[in-house]
Structure 1
Amino acid sequence: MPADEHTDPGERHRSTTTASERGAGIENRWRPATGSSSANDLEYDIVTTPALVIGAGAAGARVAIELAESGLEPLVIGKRNHGDAHTVWAAGGINAALGSLDEDDDWTIHAADTLNEGHHLNDPAAVELTAQEMPDRIHELEEWGTPFDRTDDGAINQRYFGAQSYRRTCFIGDRTGEAILETLIDRAQALEIPYRENVMITRLLSDGDRVSGAVGFDMDTGNGLLFRSDHVVLAAGGFSAVYDRHSSRDDENNGDAQALALEAGARLLDLEFVQFHPTGMVGDRYGEEWDGRLVTEAVRGEGGRLYNAVGERFMERYSPDQMELDARDVVARAIAQEVREGRGTDNGGVLLDISHREDEYVRERLPTMVERFDSLGVDITSEPMEVAPTAHYTMGGVDIDFETGETAVDGLYAVGEAVAGVHGANRLGGNSLAETVAIGKLVGEHVAGAITNATLEPNVTADQRALAERELRALTQLEAADGRHTPETLLAELGEILWDHAGILRDESALREGLERLALLRDRTGSLRVDGDRTSRSFEYAVDLSFSLTVADTLFRTALERTESRGAHYRTDHPKTEAGWRVNLLLSAGERGTEIRRRGVGEPSEPVQNALDEGYELDYHHLE
């Protein structure tokens, strides 16, 4: 179970919403029509497995590898083709205190940097586990074939990333996530780990206390699927794509994991913390299909400079010591402020310039960026890129115990961007990939130890079958929806609501207006129209819509609850960071709706506290 709460009962606070306000739960999630079908009208496949891993990115793959190396045969399922996970979009690097270039670096300083960047809302135990594990995980990836860039003397090369005290980020050019995922998939295939691609999970089989599998459908054939397992691992990513402008694909990071977990009886944590990456592409310049797409932090890590439309290197005003490599929330707010005060480009962005570096250096270190912008008629070795902040990563997620991956529901685990805890109020660049392999291994170890002979081939009970059939009937009714509003239209409007009312700068008035708009949008889902069968993109978006609405609602409510500014959550009506708000916001689905409670944060170990006291920080001017 997740760690005990640190506050006494007098310090806890509860805020509730009604079930109808939440829009969660199977009863109203699809708004099914009246009437029912007999069980023999439903056709679906039943698959049993000792461990079901939902999500096929780096986190899910690393869990599955550990299970397989323990002699088990887990089943991994993903929404896309094998190897086409969101991990491939993590370009710039992965953190580990190797000391390849800066020998004074060690895991305690990595942990201290992570806690400072997270504004000390991180779970210190989770941070320390990640930092301690990472050197071994990097060498493991190296042994499995990851082609890390090398220094002249053959060591794994490392670059600066924002807010890091030392060069700690290992990389493969600017395609690090893709290369790591390729390595993990090769390892999984060598171990012959079973995999099903193009499968969408719509509900976990849970009585609120214990999970017994999942139900969904094959996105290629439309066939219903019941997965029976006493051990289910959620590794399905975050929810940044709920925003109108974001760095994810539109069909990824929609909040699946968080909504599934909440509905199953697990708790969520700190949904208000969404990271806005400072440098996303500007759609008005490069085309709508590129709007918000990430320009990797590696550009700034290799010395890229930010200029406003009047030619000022404006980070000198906001962060003269760390400049472009200050924390992501600081740089993103600085760009937003420049644009708001009229010093942005005509397209609403600023300029990111790496052209002062040698051409060959740029082509070697940033090949993907060079190729992408070259295809758009921009040579980044000689001219700047136009960028603006974009929703990129979600620090909030499922509440787990990081040594085990356990949630509040027996048999249900979570890992990767699906969870909260490592990153606190703002993620340190390079730590997302680190968390996937560090915690993924630990979760895999624990799940392997929890599986007994009795659960290797679990039986399907009548109750489990009935719950699955209930969900499959709801999906059938959703498929037949012929109302006025398409899911694509409603998802686009939801993205605008989030961007307009819960973006980089927030206040009570905007958040409350956003909740009102969200309620009106939810009402319109009662007249949904699906254009196609279960194999259509329209049906997929209709399922995504239900997940995204649940997550958007919790995000707005926790953002309203936290009346301070901390990390990525900036309240213009409460601009200070308050010592009394060093608490996590814990969400659960109660009988009266979503409940919000406060939970105190633990303290770091003595070695990490010593590193914090030393006050390490990046010296940007090494890059000048």
Structure 2
Amino acid sequence: MPMSHNQPNPLFNRNPSSAADEVNRSQASRSIDYEYVSVPVLVIGAGAAGARTAIELTENGMETLVIGKRDHGDAHTTWAAGGINAALGNLDSDDDWRIHAADTLKEGHFVNDPMAVETVTKAMPDRLHELARWGTPFDRTDDGRINQRYFGAQSFRRTAFVGDRTGEALLDTLIKRAKSLNIPYRENVLVTELLADDNRVYGAVAVNLETAKFILFEAAHVVLAAGGYSALYGRHSSRDDENTADGPALAYRAGANLLDLEFVQFHPTGMVGDRYSDEWDGRLVTEAVRGEGGRLYNSDGERFMERYSPNQLELDARDVVARAIATEISEGRGTDNGGVYLDISHRDAAFIRERLPRMYERFQRLGVDISKQPIEVAPTAHYSMGGVDIDWTTGRTAVDRLYAVGETTAGVHGANRLGGNSLAETVVMGKVVGEHIVDLDAEMPTMPNKVRAHAERVMHSLVACTDTDGDVSPSALIADLRGVMDEHAGIIRDAETLWSGFETIREIRDRTTSLRIEGGLTSDDFELAVDLSFMLTVTEGVLRGALKREESRGAHFRSDFPETHESWRQNILYTQTDTGPALWHRDVARPTPEIESAIDEGYELEYHLLE
């Protein structure tokens, strides 16, 4: 019998565990066919963070299984094109990890976790050389050292690169390393819920998207490496089925805390769809274009960053450049397609083809020769600084034996991410988490009977979700959700628009009672419905956090509170309670004296070196 469209859909209940227990209790005694998999460590997500974690575990003798909802190697890591940071000092000998840490904290407007920043910046030279040993073909200087370029807000040339396809090259390296270690991997597996009880995780419920068969994973440890939530926005740099908040939502529902969800980075230079087609709308034009000397102009031909940042110009912090572009467009100095111009044609054509091969080839296919013509760009949602709250010495969440790595987490980037730090974070913390788990007892727990029974009820409820008589498609609700976030929680925010957006999101949640999922568990509709449930969970947290933070800091700009206030040098945590979501504050720790001294020394990028 189909689920009535007036009946709450268990995917969208704010307490999914109780929802699964309440829906169709009469089905609990019926058998349901599922595969049972037991493994010491389950890694959910197969991008750079998940791969590096699995490598560390396997090299130290820990049995590990990596699962992903896409084909092996098809991960968002490949879109991190411009480079990866490490204070090697190969081009600027004065650079060191302390200055890298100071730049990261300044870019994060000092709400970063100082331990996270120190952990990443101090380890990165070793991690970069490790990647080179494993085969990453970094660009080299004439004398054979790893080459480095400027990225925005970096005091020195610190960003190592493989042309403008660094993420792809790095992930290829990690996957080859994983395959050489025979690390098992299962693709096209969608995790719908983590199984936790009494503050401990026991595994996960998942669906094989090719066969429609359920999988019950039992694990001694679970590592979430499932990405962030920038695709809550309609205009974003990811593919539509990436960064849909899977990792943070799964962790939150299992009992972990989320942190600083209001901080979403809008990359200054996304492609403008009206010119290049909807397929390319919002796709990233790597910061490497500006790092190699690209300049921004408005429709009047002004190099407008001279007004907003006369010293650092196009290589100021991403939040500064994104707001400048948004201001130019809103004040009528944008292009007819709603963007501005990014021009690197003053550089030699051979230099552009060598240093920016992917950008050159992409735009050539679209009829634009970037060695002769400008590109039209506008800001695009690109990265979520918020995410799961973890202990940065171990990767642990508030749930025992549950860990998080990569963009699923929060802490290292603060209020705004320093370009080139995302790939750095993945390889550093993948090793840290792997080392920590190896030192723990790997004895398999016995999954409590009530947890296994709950898992089976979850499976029954998911089957029931695909048999509904509603008239609303998941894709339509996702489009509406993204429209709300674009309009109400974008680059510039205020209380009135945020409250309005919050109420509209509540209405979208209410409309899920009329959801129609056609085609069963292997259908696009089913996957989109699961994505929508994750997106709604985290969207409410973003809006609540943005309303709570009554100041402007980094990527969070409130037009009704345009100043930054020292009293708000705090993190906002988002917690699940018996009565619903709750917000609370936590003071930010101070950096170590080593890092504070580097901050006091006042290093800053000198743009004239690019002229």
Q: TM-score, normalised by structure 2?
A: 0.97
Matched, 1:263 2:253: yes
Query: Which of 332, 350, 358 is the matching residue for 2:348?
Result: 358
User: Who is 1:549 aligned against?
Assistant: 536
Matched, 1:622 2:587: no
Matched, 1:613 2:591: no
1:478, CA displacement in angstroms?
1.1
CA 1:147–1:346: 2 relative to 1, 3 Å: same
Paired residue secondary structure (1:440): helix
Which of 609-618 and 35-44 deviates more?
35-44
Query: Which of 505, 510, 521 is the matching residue for 1:534?
Result: 521
Paired residue secondary structure (1:49): strand
Paired residue secondary structure (2:27): coil
User: Who is 1:119 aligned against?
Assistant: 109
User: Who is 1:11 aligned against?
Assistant: none
- Distance, in Å, in 2 between the alignment partners of 1:422 and 1:29 is 34
User: Who is 2:580 aligned against?
Assistant: 593
The answer (yes or no) to whether the contact 2:113–2:412 under 8 Å persists in 1 is: yes
The answer (yes or no) to whether the contact 1:111–1:608 under 8 Å persists in 2 is: yes
The letter for the 2-side match of 1:169 is T
CA 1:208–1:318: 2 relative to 1, 3 Å: farther
Matched, 1:435 2:414: no
The answer (yes or no) to whether the contact 1:73–1:194 under 8 Å persists in 2 is: no
Matched, 1:583 2:573: no
- Distance, in Å, in 2 between the alignment partners of 1:341 and 1:251 is 33
Paired residue secondary structure (2:40): coil
Query: Which of 363, 367, 378 is the matching residue for 1:388?
Result: 378
Matched, 1:152 2:139: no
Unaligned runs of 5+ residues in structure 1 are 1-19
Query: Which of 225, 231, 236 is the matching residue for 2:221?
Result: 231
Matched, 1:181 2:181: no
- Distance, in Å, in 1 between the alignment partners of 2:143 and 2:473 is 58
User: Who is 1:84 aligned against?
Assistant: 74
The 5-angstrom pairing of residues 285-364 of structure 1 reads 285-364=275-354
User: Who is 1:5 aligned against?
Assistant: none
Paired residue secondary structure (2:377): strand
- Distance, in Å, in 2 between the alignment partners of 1:142 and 1:381 is 30
Paired residue secondary structure (2:190): strand
The answer (yes or no) to whether the contact 1:281–1:291 under 8 Å persists in 2 is: yes
Say what the alpha-carbon RMSD is for the aligned residues.
1.4
1:392, CA displacement in angstroms?
0.2
Unaligned runs of 5+ residues in structure 2 are 1-9
- Distance, in Å, in 2 between the alignment partners of 1:190 and 1:162 is 36
Cα shift readout 1:539-590 (whole Å, capped 9, x = no counterpart): 1000000000000000000000000000000000000000100000011100
CA 1:29–1:148: 2 relative to 1, 3 Å: farther
User: Who is 2:487 aligned against?
Assistant: 500
Identity over aligned residues, as a percent? 63
1:111, CA displacement in angstroms?
0.2
- Distance, in Å, in 2 between the alignment partners of 1:65 and 1:262 is 26
User: Who is 1:6 aligned against?
Assistant: none
Paired residue secondary structure (1:99): coil
Paired residue secondary structure (1:389): strand
- Distance, in Å, in 2 between the alignment partners of 1:519 and 1:308 is 38
User: Who is 1:465 aligned against?
Assistant: 452
Cα shift readout 1:279-327 (whole Å, capped 9, x = no counterpart): 0000111001110000000000000000001100000000000000000
Cα shift readout 1:122-152 (whole Å, capped 9, x = no counterpart): 0001100100000000000000000000001
User: Who is 2:36 aligned against?
Assistant: 46
- Distance, in Å, in 2 between the alignment partners of 1:482 and 1:357 is 59
The answer (yes or no) to whether the contact 1:235–1:415 under 8 Å persists in 2 is: yes
User: Who is 1:558 aligned against?
Assistant: 545
1:33, CA displacement in angstroms?
6.0
Query: Which of 479, 482, 490 is the matching residue for 2:466?
Result: 479
The 5-angstrom pairing of residues 190-201 of structure 1 reads 190-201=180-191
CA 1:48–1:34: 2 relative to 1, 3 Å: closer
- Distance, in Å, in 2 between the alignment partners of 1:385 and 1:468 is 51
Query: Which of 140, 151, 156 is the matching residue for 1:161?
Result: 151
The answer (yes or no) to whether the contact 1:30–1:478 under 8 Å persists in 2 is: no
Cα shift readout 1:577-607 (whole Å, capped 9, x = no counterpart): 0010000001110011111010000011111
CA 1:409–1:577: 2 relative to 1, 3 Å: same
Paired residue secondary structure (1:275): strand
User: Who is 1:399 aligned against?
Assistant: 389
The answer (yes or no) to whether the contact 1:50–1:451 under 8 Å persists in 2 is: no
User: Who is 1:567 aligned against?
Assistant: 554
Which of 463-472 and 167-176 deviates more?
463-472
Paired residue secondary structure (2:265): strand
The letter for the 2-side match of 1:359 is A
Matched, 1:412 2:402: yes
The answer (yes or no) to whether the contact 1:426–1:567 under 8 Å persists in 2 is: yes
The letter for the 2-side match of 1:376 is L
1:484, CA displacement in angstroms?
1.1
- Distance, in Å, in 1 between the alignment partners of 2:302 and 2:20 is 52
Cα shift readout 1:59-114 (whole Å, capped 9, x = no counterpart): 00111000001111100000100000110010000000001100000000000000
The answer (yes or no) to whether the contact 2:20–2:458 under 8 Å persists in 1 is: no
The letter for the 2-side match of 1:304 is G
CA 1:461–1:207: 2 relative to 1, 3 Å: closer
The answer (yes or no) to whether the contact 1:29–1:546 under 8 Å persists in 2 is: no
Paired residue secondary structure (1:352): strand
1:31, CA displacement in angstroms?
12
Matched, 1:449 2:448: no
1:34, CA displacement in angstroms?
4.7
- Distance, in Å, in 2 between the alignment partners of 1:622 and 1:308 is 24
Matched, 1:524 2:511: yes
